[in-house]
A and B are shown apart, each in its own frame.
Chain A
Amino acid sequence: MNKIIKKGLIFVFIFLLGFMWLNPDLYVQADQDQIAADYGFYLDDDYFDTNWFDSVTVINVYMSGKFLGSATEKVGIARRNILVNNKFRDTVLIRFQLEPADTKYGSSYYHGINKEGSMSLTIASGQTYVNYAPDSSPVIYSDTVSFSLGGTVNNKGEFGGTLGIGASTSYTTDGFTILSKMSNVNKTYTTRYLYQPNRDFFGSEAKRARNRFLNTTHKEFAMYQYDASSEYSQITVNYNVIMWGAISGSEIWGGRTWEVVLNNQGQASSSVTYTKNW
């Protein structure tokens, strides 16, 4: 009887080992960087030292002097805690948040609608390109998109991703598109989130719903990775935000498609330099 139990236990043990070997992701528990996770990035504490900058820049958007909304940024740098090819490997983590507003001016209400939020980083001399995420390979739309950054994206563009090495991401969903590229000539990484409201004269409820969706706060993310010979990190990120403005007689915007008028829009940009002496 004992032999049977022993054989059974050995069989179960071997079976479990085999199962774990085939499905390692289920059992390798990373030491997640909780602060990074709060900002929407998923990093393993064991491999990276992460610095989040203690400043936030607000960018306000106006249309003919009327406030449409604002955007805020939050930036960190995750440094690989060992040298890679005798260089420091930095990954810049950017969360850019678009915050459209509904504002009363006299008897009219101005509604901000996200049109574009973009960020770009030009690597300095002494820094060499490694990778970026998300990129612009096409993906097929579905309501809950999951893609190769190792995380998931909800329908407001909020995703959790690994460092995006080899990531092929781009994201086209009903309402917005992500375009990302690395320009070798300018050594510039650029990520653009483009939003498409409905501007038809005839607007169904579904079309109006998309417009209402674009009238809410959206988070955008980008990750840029470079190798540097200097221990000192200095980067400059340029931000640009464009919002459409719809004018209505109600504080709660119904998303009416004919109220989204071409050229009724505001634009603002900001350039922010970040430095870190590790």
Chain B
Amino acid sequence: MKKWIIGIVLAIIIMIPIAYFTNIFDIFNKDDGTLDDYDKNIIILNENISTDIILYGEMIPFRSELEFREVHNISSNTLNTTADYQILILSDLNGGMSITNEELLIIKEKVFENQLDFYYLGTKELSRLQEMGFFTTDRQETELCLAIVYSENELMYYNGIWTSSDVQATNDDRATLGMLLVRQFIRVLKTNQ
């Protein structure tokens, strides 16, 4: 009986430093256990910075907490905002979006006057955007997202936000695309601080 008790005590004594160094009990420590980087970025966009995110075209499955608005046409009225930071996404990855030259000209004017950060998802309209002067340099065929933003106090072109490699790696998971877009919005905001 005595040996049995001594054995248990010894086992506990041995286990204590092992448990300490492996932090084994941290498995049960969930901290607040809810917010990841995506959630934190959404909070910044929803609450901390006056932001107006506009989606035109195909739906993107953002996390439900993200505040954005869908528009079905582009005009001075639909782009009108009082927010400090405005983002427009033309979502056309499946090639189903249609937009007129007049609408694109309204967007272009706002982009090049640094009033609007612009994202085009897809490839169908790239040649038209290039002809209209949205960009000049030829783009790699793997690129699926054109981003023209006001960053570091100048107009900047971001590449690689969503490419054919991302499609392959995620099995075309559009929820990941939504997360990466939100991450990009925050990246640009940080460069302007």
A residues touching B (Cβ–Cβ < 8 Å)?
38, 54-60, 62, 65, 67, 70, 72, 99, 101-104, 109, 201-204, 208, 249-252, 254, 256-258, 268, 270, 272
Sample 21 A-B pairs with CB under 8 A, ordered by A number.
A54-B157, A55-B158, A56-B151, A58-B184, A59-B160, A67-B170, A103-B36, A202-B18, A202-B22, A203-B23, A208-B23, A249-B27, A250-B26, A250-B30, A250-B31, A251-B35, A252-B31, A252-B32, A254-B29, A256-B23, A257-B22
**A268: chain B residues within 8 A (beta carbon):** 165
**B155: chain A residues within 8 A (beta carbon):** 54
Q: Which of B93-101, B107-115, B175-183 contacts A (4 or more CB under 8 A)?
A: B175-183
**A257: chain B residues within 8 A (beta carbon):** 22
Interface size on B, residues (CB 8 A): 40
Pair B156/A55 contact, Cβ less than 8 Å: yes
**B180: chain A residues within 8 A (beta carbon):** 60, 67, 70
Pair B179/A103 contact, Cβ less than 8 Å: yes
Pair B37/A201 contact, Cβ less than 8 Å: no
Residue among B27, B36, B156, B187 making CB contact with A102, cutoff 8 Å: B36
Q: Whose C-beta in chain B lies nearest to the C-beta of A62?
A: B169
Pair A250/B21 contact, Cβ less than 8 Å: no
Pair B176/A254 contact, Cβ less than 8 Å: no
**Told that A249-B30, A257-B22, A272-B159 touch, could you supply 18 new A-B pairs with CB distance under 8 A?**
A55-B156, A56-B156, A56-B157, A58-B159, A58-B184, A58-B187, A60-B160, A62-B170, A65-B170, A65-B173, A67-B180, A102-B36, A250-B26, A250-B31, A251-B32, A251-B33, A254-B23, A254-B29
**A60: chain B residues within 8 A (beta carbon):** 160, 165-166, 169, 180
Complex-state Cα separation, A212 to B156, whole angstroms: 32
The interface bits of chain B over 8-50 (1 if a CB of A lies within 8 angstroms of the residue's CB, else 0) are 0000000000100111001101111111111100000000000
Task: Answer whether residue B171 sits at the interface, using C-beta atoms and an 8 A cutoff.
Answer: yes
